[in-house]
Amino acid sequence: MSLPALQSMVDPFGRHVTYLRVSVTDRCDFRCSYCMSEHMTFLPKKDLLTLEELDRLCTAFVAKGVRKLRITGGEPLVRKNIMWLFRALARHLASGTLDELTLTTNGSQLPKYAAELRDAGVKRINVSLDTLRPDRFKAITRWGDFSQVMAGIEAAEKAGLAIKLNAVALKGVNEDEIADLLTFAHGRGFDLTLIETMPMGDIDGDRTDQYLPLSIVRARLMDRFTLENIPYRTGGPARYVRVKETGGRLGFITPMTHNFCESCNRVRLTCTGTLYMCLGQDDAADLRSPLRASADDALLAEAIDRAIARKPKGHDFVIDRRTRQPAVARHMSVTGG
């Protein structure tokens, strides 16, 4: 059971901020076509917060009422010594001030880290998997190795981690495979969540070519499966159905076709200490300066309060033939999805 928050952060629209996503690196060992261009310029390593600083920032948010921490990236598991951060943050699980410590990963490093993650108190993980076909996997991720990710998923299962698969629905790329992904996920006892592509950052191609509304995917699935709305929530933006034929859960993240901002409980921290109050807006707060200005957390706490006080009502993503510019210039790998 959750303990009451030590303090709480409430934004101008009365939404309680209880969920922090932390992008610990903007780097990645993949180059997914909808996420990055093949030739990305990453931040100089010297601009990154140290793991100790990230721990201090996360701890400040926990003291302010954050109950769920998601470590993401870029690929979080390629950051050097990242297990130190998981082990450090686990103390908040032990003390009862944090309900959940989790991560989103492309799975490539799970053969190495799954057991350690479980030991650090991680219980559930999100693994991104857009296809079950090795050749297609290569085409989508450019640099990824399908068998390595499958080995990662197996290692996570073996370690006893609950797995949710995330798949971005891509027009003309994996739209013919959504039912297979569902059957695969539910057959293994995993949840599956489908995501619409969001217009973030320049990629090499044209997003209008990739955008597939989930309303269409859902209608197609209903030809084969019975989808029953269920009230299940994980604290994130997905809305879930139960698939009668498989017994499994299927989530839909629909930032484009259905605005999910009314119930937004999240803020996002980058690896340089910039806090984004909304995934789809440019406004951000610098937390690195107050963090480094004093060993005491008072300045940091004030900066967080000022930032939460201007959390915007929502995003206004648009993908159409007239709007070719990304809604925000930064890539998803900066704020971590």
Contact residues for ligand SF4, defined by CB under 6 A = 28, 30-32, 35-36, 73-75, 106, 128, 333
Residue 210 as a binder of ligand SAM (CB under 6 A): the answer is no
Distance CA 79, CA 81 (A): 6
In the complex, the smallest distance separating the C-beta of residue 326 from ligand SAM, rounded to whole angstroms, is 8
Neighbours of 292 (CB within 10 A): 13
In the complex, the smallest distance separating the C-beta of residue 106 from ligand SAM, rounded to whole angstroms, is 4
Q: Which is nearer to ligand SF4, 142 or 171 (CB)?
A: 142
Q: Which of 198, 214, 264, 285 binds ligand SAM (CB under 6 A)?
A: 198
Per-residue x/- marks for ligand SAM, 94-113, CB under 6 A? Answer: ----------xxx-------
Out of ligand SF4, ligand SAM, none, what residue 17 binds, judged by CB under 5 to 8 A for its kind, is: none
43, 271 contact by CB (below 8 A): yes
318, 213 contact by CB (below 8 A): no
Count of residues that bind ligand SAM according to CB under 6 A: 20
Residue 166 as a binder of ligand SAM (CB under 6 A): the answer is yes
Per-residue x/- marks for ligand SAM, 9-38, CB under 6 A? Answer: -------------------x-----xx---
Long-range contacts, stretch 88-93, CB < 8 angstroms, 24+ apart: 88/51, 88/55, 89/55, 89/58, 89/59, 89/120, 90/120, 90/121, 92/59, 92/62, 93/121
Q: For residue 2, give the DSSP letter.
A: P
The dihedrals phi and psi of 316, each to the nearest 5 degrees, come to: -135, 65
Distance of CA 320 to the CA centre of its chain: 24
Out of ligand SF4, ligand SAM, none, what residue 31 binds, judged by CB under 5 to 8 A for its kind, is: ligand SF4
Residue 336 as a binder of ligand SAM (CB under 6 A): the answer is yes
In the complex, the smallest distance separating the C-beta of residue 46 from ligand SF4, rounded to whole angstroms, is 21
In the complex, the smallest distance separating the C-beta of residue 99 from ligand SAM, rounded to whole angstroms, is 21
Torsion of CA 137, 140, 143, 149, to 10 degrees: -40
Show the DSSP H helices in 96-225 as ranges: 110-119, 134-141, 146-158, 178-187, 214-224
Q: Which is nearer to ligand SF4, 74 or 111 (CB)?
A: 74
Q: Which residues face 164 on adjacent strands? A: 126, 191
Determine the residue with CB nearest ligand SAM: 337
Distance CA 89, CA 283 (A): 27
List of residues contacting ligand SAM (CB under 6 A): 28, 34-35, 72-73, 75, 104-106, 128, 166, 168, 195, 197-198, 200, 332-333, 336-337
